[in-house]
A and B are shown apart, each in its own frame.
Chain A
Amino acid sequence: MSQNEPGRDWFAPPPGQPDNEPAAPPRPVRPPQPPRPRPRRRRTFPDQRVWPPPAPAESVEGATQPFPALPDTRPLPPRAPGPVGGVAEPPPRRPRTLLMGVAAAVALVLAAGAPTVDAYLFYKGGQPSDIVHTVAAGKEKTFEHVSWQASIETMKAPQPTPPGRQWVKIVVTRKGVDATGIRLTGRPELELRDRAGRAWAVEITEDDVAIDDAVVGKPYTYTANAVVPEGVAGEVELRLRPDTTYRSDTPTDQLLAVPTDPAEQEKAKHKDVLVFRR
């Protein structure tokens, strides 16, 4: 039996099936509904003119555009002499002087500021800001496996010095607090600073820091000298920048190795400064 029986419609049911569809099953009976509330009276809207568009509800005096002469009892405003049935003036453009001025100022600030910020960020990349750790007067501070303490006192000038300058003796004590601490024997950078931010050089003259047979917890000292103006000799504070990366047990062939670990690279910038209050 061919499927494409001539004379039969494509969509006709197959021959074995009666042509007439069986009666649809009875619809499910809706459960009884609560009675609908009586519809309220519909609101009726009055007719509204939509075309041609109604004249704007504006007073005639404030209008900027001519509009059709509406029946109005008031007298029309006086008209400037001109062509009768005149030209529709385009609405005057509002002056944008202020907007333009502000835009120009913003553009100028951006044009000058963007390269400046870029250059500053580059500069800061090479010279990061110090991270200051304050140490109370006479106290000890443990930082990165080493405990630091410092004392400052004036001293007699060891060589003829012009008047107005005061020699200062600085003693810095370091204690390695663990096995790593006694290996971090890099010399700290020292500097004296007054409250105005002026700085003076400090030269370490001697130290007794043990390199190979250092003992955990034993104090070792650096002795240093500086010359400051007499007026600030009592207020200058010691700023100590510890070397937190050099280890005395580094094998010789790795002394110049560049750190690959990002944390080590960050440490190598030596940003931390201990400030000893007086």
Chain B
Amino acid sequence: MTTTELPASPPVRRAPERRRGRAAAGLHVVVGLALAAGAIWVQSFDLTGDEQAMPLTYVGAKGEDVDAGRFSVRVDKVSTAKAVKALDDTVATDQLFLVVDAAATSPRTPLHLGMPTLLTADGRRFAATDKVNKDSTLAYYWIQPGWWSKGRFVFEVPASALPGAQAVFGLPVAGLYTEPLPPEAQIDLGIDDATAERLSSAPAEIFDLNEKP
């Protein structure tokens, strides 16, 4: 049998290589731990149950069509009165009735608006007044695709709430099931100090809600 030369087996240089391999493995462990920690940290941005129930707010100003996704709202006019007449009832207040003329439409499905709230410049919130029946407000009418339904909402507020006030429109609260991130439209009523002064100093005696807006 013929013998061939054995491949000259390379001697060595094994130790540094192994050291390099160990260093690389250590680096990989650190990187892996960092990635895992990052993944857990990212979880902290997840919304809690309460945050899930909070609305998704679309912001706009008076006169603009504010598209909140499932519905659009527009505030046409703002006025004040000392008393409002709904159907045959006239109710008075020692504060101010702030009457918001609004219009709404929906892109796809018929729906109703919920009663809005008034958000003042200093963060206070006022519910729409319960002195006026819902049937006399825009919340009564179907909001449907194809046209803008017009109506009014009435708030009973002190004069100090007027400057910088915003109206917040949303969908009615439906039953037991709370929808995650329901849409709402927050519309600046455009009341600056001068307008607030005029609205609070000269309210109408009676605002008739039976008149068509």
Contact = CB atoms under 8 A, between A and B. Distances in A.
B33 to A, nearest CB: 17
Interface residues of B, number: 22
Contacts of B9: 88
Interface in B162-213: 177
A143 interface: no
Nearest to A229: B146
A52 B10 contact: no
Interface string B19-60: 000000000000000000000000000000000000000000
A184 interface: no
B144 A201 contact: yes
Contacts of B110: 191, 199-201
A69 B9 CA distance: 13
B144 A162 contact: no
B23 to A, nearest CB: 16
B133 interface: no
A70 interface: yes
A199 B145 contact: yes
A267 interface: no
B47 to A, nearest CB: 12
A51 to B, nearest CB: 10
Contact of A164 (B7, B107, B108, B147): B147
B180 to A, nearest CB: 9
Contact of A197 (B1, B7, B108, B142): B108
A191 B2 CA distance: 96
Contacts of A227: 144
B90 interface: no
A88 B10 contact: yes
Nearest to B3: A52
Contacts of A90: 17
B147 A229 contact: yes
Contacts of A199: 108-110, 145
A70 B4 contact: yes
Given A47-B1, A68-B4, A68-B7, A87 B13 contact: yes
B147 A162 contact: yes
B4 A200 contact: no
A228 B1 contact: no
Interface residues of A, number: 29
Interface of B: 1-2, 4-10, 12-13, 17, 107-110, 142, 144-147, 177
Nearest to B149: A162
A49 B3 CA distance: 9
Contacts of A200: 110, 144-146
Contact of A198 (B2, B8, B10, B108): B108
Nearest to A203: B142
Given A199-B145, A200-B144, A229-B147, A69 B5 contact: yes
Given A52-B7, A68-B8, 17 more contacts: A49-B4, A52-B6, A66-B8, A69-B5, A87-B10, A88-B10, A162-B147, A165-B146, A197-B108, A198-B108, A198-B145, A199-B145, A200-B144, A200-B145, A201-B142, A201-B144, A229-B147
Nearest to A228: B146
Interface of A: 47, 49, 52, 54-55, 66-70, 85-88, 90, 126, 162, 164-165, 191, 197-201, 227-229, 232
Given A49-B1, A199-B110, A201-B142, A85 B147 contact: no
Given A87-B13, A200-B145, A201-B142, A66 B7 contact: yes
A200 B147 CA distance: 11
Contacts of B12: 87
Contacts of A191: 110
Given A86-B10, A87-B10, A88-B10, A198 B5 contact: no
A87 to B, nearest CB: 5
Contacts of B6: 52, 68
A129 to B, nearest CB: 16
A7 to B, nearest CB: 61
22 contacts: A47-B1, A49-B4, A66-B7, A66-B8, A69-B5, A85-B8, A86-B10, A87-B12, A88-B9, A90-B17, A162-B147, A164-B146, A197-B108, A199-B109, A200-B144, A200-B145, A200-B146, A201-B110, A201-B144, A227-B144, A229-B146, A232-B146
